[in-house]
Structure formats: structure tokens, C-alpha cells
Amino acid sequence: MKDKVSVEDEDVNYQENFYFMLNKPLGYITATYDENFPTVISLLDDETVKDKLFPIGRLDLDTEGLLILTTDGQLAHRLAHPKWNIEKEYYAIVEGDVSKIDFSPFEKEGIYLKKDKYKTKPFKVKVLSALEEESKVLITVSEGKYHIVKKIMESLGHPVKYLKRVRMGNLKLDENLQPGDYRPLTEEEIRKLKSLVKLD
């Protein structure tokens, strides 16, 4: 039996945490407050909830795509922590033809970034199309280093022209969400995310 809370004969539904999927548009900063740019939180309508929400991880000002906004600090901490190796998949348009690159060694070894003097974790690249002027790829990384996807592709001689996150862990970006749109996560989506980081 569950307790019911009523105010003036109206049932009050208490929700401990909130979870939203946002398709982040270009030009918005992944923060709760910023003096110079509009934030992803400013895209939300519900004033009572938006003040409590914060983004999990970050997307650059010039990067679009999947962003999770929540009030659940424990889930946010685990999804962002390197220990859990949460995969993040990006759709990228890069300069030049990548068809001659053998990406398979990077799935085991990662790549050494000379400018940063840093070796990445293993990552995957799937080539969707490759033309002389540009290529389209899906790149999957499991680390949240600053500009990691851009740095990887630049080190391979193919700078990123456009970047969009399409998956985080087992959560895929809802194709029906236009840039700037958002929706609550379903109970099943929340359950799967929690299961991924052993919070079930």
C-alpha cells in the first residue's frame, strides 16, 4: 500500500528525481549558468524543475546532439566517471577522404596525440561515406577528455567540420527530437541507464 498526499482534495504526486533527453543545438553552452552564452538549461520551459537540473557530461558550443539533464547526482556521477567506461557515439563530418585509413588498430591500442602528449583509450570508427572533399563517420569513444573526438580526427589529418552525439551508453538520441527539443526519459530508459552503472 502506498501513502497518498493530498492538498485541498487534490492528489500530489511526488517525484524524487527528474530525467530529460535534450537534443542540444549549436550555440548553447553545457552549463547551468554562463555570462556570455545561452545555456542548455535555458531551453527548458518548466521553471519549477529547470532550476534543479544539471547536464551529465558536456557538449561543446559547436556540437549538437544527445544530452541528459537530471537532478539525480548519483547517476550523473557514475555516468561521467572514467571508471565506468561509458561509450559515447558521435556522428561526424570530417575534411577529406578517410577511406585509406585502417582504423582497426585503434580499437585495441587507441592513438597517441602528440600535441597533448596523451594516449587515448581504444575507440571505434565506422566509415559511412568517403569522398575527396569530406567523409561521414561514426566514432565511439569511452572517455570524456576535452575535445577528444576533434583531437583524434585532427591527429589523423581529417579535422571535424560537424559533430553530433547520437548515443550515450545504451541511450540513443530520439530521432523525433529536433535541435532544442527535449522530452522526459521513459521508465525503461532510466532503468537501463541505472543498470549500466549498477544502480539497479
Whether the CB-CB separation of 151 and 117 falls below 8 Å is answered with no
Find cell 570530417 and name the residue. Answer: 94
Catalytic residue among 46, 51, 60, 181: 60
To 10 degrees, the CA torsion angle through 60, 62, 67, 69? 70
Cα distance from N-terminal residue to C-terminal residue, the chain? 22
Closest CA to 69 of 36, 91, 44, 88: 44
60 in active site: yes
Active site (catalytic) residues: 60
